[in-house]
Amino acid sequence: MTNVFILTLTILVVGFSLSVLSYYVYSQKAQIIESTYLKKELAFAPLYFCSIILLVLTYFLSPIENDFIHDFQATELFVPILLSGICYTICFFPKISRFLDIALIVSVAVSCLFLPHDFLLFKGNLPLWADRLSIIALWSIFSCFYYILNGVDGILPLFNSSILIVLMILSLFDAAPIFYGLSALSLLTVNISFLNLNWFPARLSLTNNSCKIFGFLIGGIIIFASTENLAPCFSIILSIFVLELLQSFVKKMTLYTRYTDLTDNTIYYQANISGLTAKQICFYIFKIQILFIILASFQAYLPNDFSLPIASLLLAAWFLNKLKQWNKPRQSIKEINQEFIDNIRQNINDFKDTINRD
């Protein structure tokens, strides 16, 4: 236990110091970069390289454990790291950066090729090929659309932190191996410096491409840790992200030009442009994420895998509705039901009008 404590303290000190130092070096070098496009993409470089260095050190320095359901192999860490570097390099070239989503999906598929046969996300309830396709689909969706949380300063690092804190708590109470907890701590130290720099008004902002690379790394940790029966825990902490993504897609499917950008479709972004400040939005999301962190920590010890995740989705839906209606007076239950029915009717009519025009 003493070795784990020393390693934890070392990660905290080295991780935060390395992050601050890397950003300082970047900020000095960025002044001589003439390309605005390249300057924006390189803003992620300090966070990316610090994360990679700490993950590699964590893998080699973590104490050897026998409490893995699935024994974590070196290829399962280094193959995604290598592929994430290739994807990040693609971001620097405007002509090919539009193919980043394809590169990420291919990277996920290649990473899955190196997984052993006992690596099963759904505990053997699906055949191997279906389990692999599920992993590819979930990891790819998370990676390619993680950028929708980048619409307001501070939101992205808040979600990063909540995901990583859940994994750290689960590791602390032996619901997850120490390696995953230390990996989460490694990324959290980097993310704390990112939160400080991205807090409103942001001194450091990431492009959508950089957010996708970040999503690829965090998504990989979520997928690997989920094989330790932790998938329901992560589904709780990601409730808001899932609902924001779904409702953004529904708006985009109406084919109206004002709904073409997924980030602009998010409820938190709409609340921001309607007058709610970034600080207030972050504060509200921070409070609800604390509740989800508590629920996710309890979920690891519950025999039922569905009750709390479903309840969390309902709670997230309620929260997003309150956020959407932040500047409206309180309504009675009858008025809320009537507004809900009117919204459904209006969406159906909009969809019919779009089909008729086509």
Specify the DSSP class assigned to residue 63: P
pLDDT band of 66, cuts 50, 70, 90: low
Highest mean pLDDT (candidates 49-53, 130-134, 225-229): 130-134
- pLDDT per position as a tens digit, 126-148: 899 999 999 999 999 999 999 99
Secondary structure tally for the chain: helices H, strands E? 17, 0
pLDDT at 1 over 60: no
Angle at 55 between CA 128 and CA 120, to 5 degrees: 10
Distances (CA, A) of 70 to 73, 163, 222, 225, 249: 9, 21, 14, 9, 35
At 253, list the tokens.
Answer: 């499917």
Distances (CA, A) of 209 to 37, 174, 215: 12, 35, 10
Higher pLDDT, 125 or 159: 159
**What are the domain boundaries of the chain?**
2-230
Q: How many CB atoms lie within 10 A of CB 357?
A: 7
Q: What gap in Å lies between CA 165 and CA 10, rounded to an integer? A: 18
pLDDT band of 355, cuts 50, 70, 90: low
Mean pLDDT of 41-67: 86
Mean pLDDT of 31-36: 84
Reported pTM: 0.88
pLDDT at 358 over 60: no
- pLDDT per position as a tens digit, 238-259: 999 999 999 999 999 887 788 8
At 106, list the tokens.
Answer: 């291919």
Cis peptide before 201 (omega within 30 of 0): yes
CA atoms within 13 A on the CB side of 279: 3
- pLDDT per position as a tens digit, 72-101: 788 889 999 999 999 999 999 999 999 999
pLDDT of amino acid 30: 83
* CA-based end-to-end distance of the chain: 66
Transcribe 109-153 into DSSP letters: HHHHHTS-TT--TTTTSS-HHHHHHHHHHHHHHHHHHGGGGGSST
Q: Is 156 exposed, middle or buried (0-12, 13-18, 19+ CB in 10 A)?
A: buried
Q: How many CB atoms lie within 10 A of CB 350?
A: 15
- pLDDT per position as a tens digit, 306-342: 999 999 999 999 999 899 888 876 666 566 667 667 7
